[in-house]
């Protein structure tokens, strides 16, 4: 933990060098505390194994080269996708090349233009439901935020509240899945032949199969509604009725199951992580919490009008600061398709390029007060510069998360609605320890005291 009590918790970085096998063991247990301290100020670092070479890149110009200038030359690494394949199948999160391009051409229109405004009433309704479910007393708010974020996904995607039988079953199966699945499995470190088992845990395989079965039921039912002309105008209908402008093809039911799985993972898991940490930070820094409560009281009084988002400026900056300190996806991995030269160093074809929001967002040479909680930083010159050059909770470039704009509505709105209704306080002896499961979560949950305002 931190030596300075004024700073929010951060996993201890390792000052020593460790063997590959010890590093693999540490990485599988918690990849955040397995990292050496020098990565918080390095522009680039190399890590070698007997099977491949990895290069962690923190220099903004190189990140732009990989994600923005030449994204097709740096496809997503299969070493990471191996661990997520049982749940996500062939989803847009894992594919590359022409398959990925086709998927994005079909998915992206659902999140363009006025669609955010169209989904706003459903997000508001999920926020009201979250406030109604919240009780006073000590609470594990990560679980509360998982419930709220899952409700948002089902309301906006399938026009179903979380209380729906299939929606509820999917949520509970995902809770079981979430902590059985490490970000990386054995295939991330050792190249395995196609016939060899990939090292997925039995519980991971079981829950992934159950989740995909439930999603298949929802998707098949929606396809029947579309054919009958009775489908609601929500995100699922929009995606399933959108044709690829180049081929005229639409997603099959099986393909849509893959995409719904990643919408649920990306839209539920990441939002829940960020909201949980945001509530903890506000509990730790009550002055900021009271400022947000005042803003929320004024902004939300008019009811579910999309225009309120323009009034929730502090809520946005607080949520953004939570994303900076605790980025839900702490690392992203790309792969070189040819020999490259980075910072005068040869990067061979097949190397792993690790882009780490966890390190970039706290980089000592880029940010003022990198480990401190300061929502006001986004109005400073340093904050504005880093927002452009060193902030990527949703990735960047062609592969930026399709739902990034959606998340920046959902997160600040739910945060404001909760703080307007309740006061959150830290619980003595229950300081959360950040670890990486599927996303950055607290090792034993985030426990806060809750009192109605």
Q: Which CATH superfamily is domain 20-452 in?
A: Cytochrome P450 (1.10.630.10)
Report the pLDDT value the prediction gives residue 192, as an integer from 0 to 100: 41
Report the pLDDT value the prediction gives residue 267, as an integer from 0 to 100: 78
Report the pLDDT value the prediction gives residue 244, as an integer from 0 to 100: 94
Number of Cα atoms under 13 Å in the Cβ half of residue 60:
13
Report the pLDDT value the prediction gives residue 2, as an integer from 0 to 100: 43
pLDDT digits (tens, 9 = 90+) for 6-27: 889 888 776 666 555 555 555 5
Report the pLDDT value the prediction gives residue 185, as an integer from 0 to 100: 43
pTM: 0.91
Spell out the domain ranges in the chain: 20-452
Report the pLDDT value the prediction gives residue 24, as an integer from 0 to 100: 56
Report the pLDDT value the prediction gives residue 81, as an integer from 0 to 100: 67
- Regions of the chain with pLDDT less than 70: 1-5, 14-30, 50-51, 79-83, 113, 178-201
pLDDT digits (tens, 9 = 90+) for 250-304: 999 889 999 988 888 777 888 999 999 999 999 999 999 999 999 999 999 988 9
Report the pLDDT value the prediction gives residue 27, as an integer from 0 to 100: 52
């Amino acid at each position: 933990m931190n030596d300075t009590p004024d700073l929010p918790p951060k996993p201890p970085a390792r000052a020593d060098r460790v063997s590959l096998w010890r590093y693999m063991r540490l990485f599988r247990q918690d990849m955040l505390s397995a990292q050496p301290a020098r990565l918080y100020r390095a522009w680039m670092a190399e890590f070698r194994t007997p099977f491949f070479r990895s290069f962690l890149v923190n220099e903004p110009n190189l990140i732009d080269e990989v994600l923005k200038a030449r994204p097709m030359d740096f496809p997503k690494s299969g070493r990471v996708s191996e661990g997520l394949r049982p749940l996500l199948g062939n989803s847009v999160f894992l594919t590359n090349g022409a398959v990925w391009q086709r998927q994005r051409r079909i998915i992206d229109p659902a999140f363009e233009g006025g669609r955010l405004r169209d989904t706003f009433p459903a997000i508001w309704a999920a926020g009201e439901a979250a406030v109604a479910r919240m009780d006073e007393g000590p609470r594990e708010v990560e679980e509360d935020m998982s419930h709220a974020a899952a409700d948002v996904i089902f309301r906006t995607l399938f026009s179903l509240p979380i209380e729906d039988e299939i929606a509820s079953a999917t949520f509970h199966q995902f809770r079981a899945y979430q902590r059985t699945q490490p970000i990386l499995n054995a295939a991330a470190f050792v190249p395995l032949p196609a016939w060899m088992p990939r090292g997925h845990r039995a519980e991971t395989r079981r829950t992934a199969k159950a989740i995909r079965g439930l999603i298949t039921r929802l998707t098949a039912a929606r396809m029947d509604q579309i054919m009958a002309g009775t489908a609601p105008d929500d995100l699922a209908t929009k995606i399933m009725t959108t044709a690829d402008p180049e081929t005229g093809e639409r997603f099959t039911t099986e393909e849509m199951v893959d995409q719904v799985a990643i919408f649920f993972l990306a839209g539920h898991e990441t939002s829940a992580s960020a909201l949980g940490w945001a509530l903890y930070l506000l509990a730790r820094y009550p002055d900021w919490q009271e400022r947000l409560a005042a803003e929320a009281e004024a902004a939300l009084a008019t009811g579910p009008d999309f225009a309120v988002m323009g009034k929730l400026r502090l809520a946005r900056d607080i949520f953004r600061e939570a994303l900076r300190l605790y980025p839900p996806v702490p690392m992203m991995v790309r792969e070189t398709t040819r020999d490259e030269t980075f910072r005068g160093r040869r990067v061979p074809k097949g190397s792993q390029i690790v882009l780490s929001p966890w390190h970039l967002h706290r980089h000592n040479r880029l940010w003022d007060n990198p480990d401190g909680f300061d929502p006001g930083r986004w109005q400073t010159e340093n904050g504005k510069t880093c927002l452009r050059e060193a902030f990527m909770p949703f990735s960047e470039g062609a592969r930026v998360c399709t739902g990034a704009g959606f998340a920046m509505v959902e997160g600040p709105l739910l945060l404001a609605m909760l703080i307007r209704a309740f006061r959150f306080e830290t619980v003595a002896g229950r300081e959360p320890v950040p670890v990486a499961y599927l996303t950055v979560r607290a090792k034993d949950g985030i426990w806060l005291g809750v009192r109605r305002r």
